[in-house]
Structure 1
Amino acid sequence: MLSLQQQHGGAVAAGGDARHHAPQPSVLGGGADWLVFGGRADLEEPARNAPSPALFLLPPAGLDDRAAQPEPNPKPAQLAGAVDEERHLALAHQNYRSGKYREALEHGNVVYEKNPRRTDNLLLLGAIYYQIRNYDMCIAKNEEALAIDPHFAECYGNMANAWKEKGDIDLAIRYYLTAIQLRPNFCDAWSNLASAYTRKGRLNEAAQCCRQALAINPRLVDAHSNLGNLMKAQGFIQEAYSCYIEALRIDPHFAIAWSNLAGLFMEAGDLDKALMYYKEAVKLKPSFADAYLNQGNVYKALGMPQDAIMCYQRALQARPDYAMAYGNLATIYYEQGQLDMAIRCYNQAIVYDPQFIEAYNNMGNALKDAGRVEEAINCYRSCLALQANHPQALTNLGNIYMEWNMISAATSFYKAAISVTSGLSSPLNNLAVIYKQQGNYADAITCYTEVLRIDPTAADALVNRGNTFKEIGRVNEAIQDYVQAATIRPNMPEAHANLASAYKDSGHVETAIISYKQALRLRPDFPEATCNLLHTLQCVCDWENRDGMFRDVEEIIRRQIKMSVLPSVQPFHAIAYPIDPLLALEISRKYAAHCSLIASRFGLPPFVHPPPVPVKAEGKHCRLKVGYVSSDFGNHPLSHLMGSVFGMHDRANIEVFCYALSQNDGTEWRQRIQSEAEHFVDVSAMTSDNIAKLIN
């Protein structure tokens, strides 16, 4: 019961195909971009997972004493020009407040053409360019204003905002500090400096800046909200809650605080309250894309995918280039099996955010499931180009190479994934699969044990470790693992079926029958349990419904062979069953092909044997070498029936080697064979490739 685990950013259970995308990180809006025209303007869109973005400050339109002054006794034409200039500036402000940035830019440029040294207009132009994301022009206009008035604090603050968006946080901090030096009571610069410090991970300094802003203006709701974000990031949940509540006490219509409050409850697991507060946020601000995204995440966690889809779509209506919303929407489509839609949405996420690492990995998973494996590989490699130590992408590449029987490459990717993370079980589980197939049982057990250290409730890992214990004869330990797995997950049919096999091998046949029947109650269409139950019933001469069960088993075998699946009946058992001899032969062929496939995974070159030499020729005498390889040198029917054969060979003509694949069980059967065989070699601790080299 071994399965590869595909990675979507979270661990996936073995033993089934319960793969899933981990939800994208919740997005907490911070503060907002705002312009001051003698007061606070409307709040703009919050940044994702960040405190307040840029705060833009403008002096009231037409009241800037730094602007060009009219001449004394102006002429009528000059008066008309001044009036026209003020009208365009007022229209620029009006359009800016309405979010009509292109129209605002047109009017601002008219003023600029008439009076390029008007600093209040230069500040406004810089703000407009910021809103349309032309940060270079934003910086240029503020620099023009500073060339005219080097003490214009607001220009330094707005240039800092632009440099922060361009990614130069250190330069942004320098400009914020300059603005504050020029105007120590510049509360918006303090608030934005907090945002910059947060981006640098300097949370204590960021919190001090928020408190300084609030000391200047206790009603600055953005600073209360951002301080709450900082408290939350440092684990002070109650303090964060108090900050959000204070922001809402000051302004009950402050949507961002409602959203951040919802985020607290979401992380605490109170999804109903989280949903209620996200609804309040989007009711107050219908264009709040981040709140719609997080509301969708709550619906997804509540198992309401259609409602989640609707929220993600509303987030995209509010922000058409919202890459994370496309990513989360793709997640839902993927989980519903709508692979084409998932691929399309992941692709859109990457178009709008080429650095969206998880979108590359998850699109790779969708492409792989759609049979587009080469494209999937390209996605995983794109993910690794952005983050070379991305454990999920490394694991998923390993899975592809494993399926292609390129075991060496698969192993290297799994080991690379393990080397960069200590909390991901999938590469450990899949590496254990390889070790087990190679006969390296000790390392396989080590891997499964590490999986259980990461997640002690991983029932699949317990079953897989139990299987490994069972194969090397440590049946009691196998039983313990199966029992624990069935306790953790009572409805897991594999745990009951494997427990039954272990009971049967240890002689507890009646108990085995009970466990097989329990497995079949949980999963009636369980070929392995059906076939093994039949074999166990034959062992205790239970002939009830014997003919019907054999018909069912024969039908299972034919179906498995047709589907190129390894039959659930082993060749040795098939010989004793009343089934078509040709079907029994086909079972043997399938098992031979399976063994050949496993052997090929070692990548060993063909063994070079010396040319055959006659045993007796021209007076020379060589002994014939005969090797017996078995895991049943112990208390097993093979030893009961053949125990004396290994020592009865004529040593004058035959040299006998016994290779024990299982550890010494301490029984008289093992001791007898070991003492009577000419050569007895315990290879139970060796890997299969090394055993092959030793024998050959």
Structure 2
Amino acid sequence: MLSFQGLAELAHREYQAGDFEAAERHCMQLWRQEPDNTGVLLLLSSIHFQCRRLDRSAHFSTLAIKQNPLLAEAYSNLGNVYKERGQLQEAIEHYRHALRLKPDFIDGYINLAAALVAAGDMEGAVQAYVSALQYNPDLYCVRSDLGNLLKALGRLEEAKAVTLDPNFLDAYINLGNVLKEARIFDRAVAAYLRALSLSPNHAVVHGNLACVYYEQGLIDLAIDTYRRAIELQPHFPDAYCNLANALKEKGSVFPEFAAAHSNLASVLQQQGKLQEALMHYKEAIRISPTFADAYSNMGNTLKEMQDVQGALQCYTRAIQINPAFADAHSNLASIHKDSGNIPEAIASYRTALKLKPDFPDAYCNLAHCLQIVCDWTDYDERMKKLVSIVADQLEKNRLPSVHPHHSMLYPLSHSFRKAIAERHGNLCLDKINVLHKPPYEHPKDLKASEGRLRVGYVSSDFGNHPTSHLMQSIPGMHNPDKFEVFCYALSPDDGTNFRVKVMAEANHFIDLSQIPCNGKAADRIHQDGIHILINMNGYTKGARNELFALRPAPIQVKELNSVWRALSDVRALLSMVIEQAGFSLLSFKLGVLWKWHADPYRTE
């Protein structure tokens, strides 16, 4: 006579051998002896499932759950029943519940993956297989299934990696993310640490790991890990913000908390989120009232927002705090220069250069100011040094200190001038890339505009400026039956008749100075359905070339001795332009140089 344990082992062997009838007979004997034994109930559930007696299988799984509501295997068995019945959502819910109860339940992940594939959720299935491999990277059948799934999704390189490389980086990253969201923090830490062992300089993983440490209450470890993430990826807004929160949690609000806010503000400013940047600079200054860098950087933001007086006050305060702050002197000089106070600008640039002799931006801007006032003292030597600075910056692939619009004033080669423009164009692209905006879909006909071409003029000079002196009547000269004219102002209303005239002549006048975010401003232009967008600034003061780099219109033109560019898929629209206005008439009225040319916003 076999003991209970011996009979249980016999039933398991019979089940494994496929002798389900004998396995069931012996399991029933066991059940009569111990009706509450969950091991027996699970085996009976599995036997009935293999024999396709789904109701009986579900019955024994339910009995097992009544005995132990935390029995993951019973929920997984119920999931199998639901899956077999075609009730995929119920099956998926039961598998996920099983995994919440037992996160290292490999069979649960495999079953979940199969159900997700059947439900059409291929990405979810990938995650399930990846999770199984985290717990046992040597499961060949799982690696094979995952590889086949990735191939079916067209992700061939990943398929190759997962089938050949047991150290699959993305698997651990994705698993860490799943476990973090599920608040299974210890296992999330293990997954992220495994990922970092494969890729030690992965900033995002460091940032995610720091978040888990923070949730675990390991504040010091979180702070160190956030710092490492920022060191690896200086433009990492989430890491700065989370670091600030961690420092606040610890009570270390001076000076590091202020620096975190200031650094976050700098990133936001680069993204064109000026109001948010301003808020964080102010918070940095509130925490640390003598934070000169924050004042200077806030001045740059205010200058970009065209708040000249606010910027002037910030630069002045930064210098009061730190009289040897060369960058603040240079920034103050730029305000004086833009305001037409050239002598004050020259004095401030010279102070900056005394404090920091190797200061290319200050030197080149001083050279420009001296030419404005016709100071030719040591001109040849000055030009020689300026050309040398530009050559060095171009060689080192740095942003040149000479502005593209000013490059024609100096004895630079044409190749240098073109390279300067390209570098500044790339800066515009860098600024918009951080916005992660998808390409716009452009109109390919005139249906939405009722047969009229929508032309948009973009300028910071709709006011008392030579641009408006020359073109204030142009918007009203368009044939209203064929054209709808939009004027987009990049500067606030200066209250002059020139502004009033342009506003009156245009069909629509939009003040984009009230929309400082380039992404949102470009969205507004695109929403207006513009067919032809004209950049009237180029690289002159007040330009927002980032708007054009975002390409909110299918045809974009730079006015006066500049560039024509068009998308390759708007030839039909181009033919309508010619049909509506005539090639020579449009080129004459807009003063456009019609030629193809290398351009930082080209689409080829």
Normalised by the shorter chain, which TM-score bucket? 0.3 to 0.5
- Using structure 2 for the length normalisation, give the TM-score: 0.48
**Structure exhibiting the larger radius of gyration computed from Cα positions:** 1
TM-score by length of 1: 0.42
Structure with greater contact order relative to length (CA < 8 Å, sep ≥ 6): 1
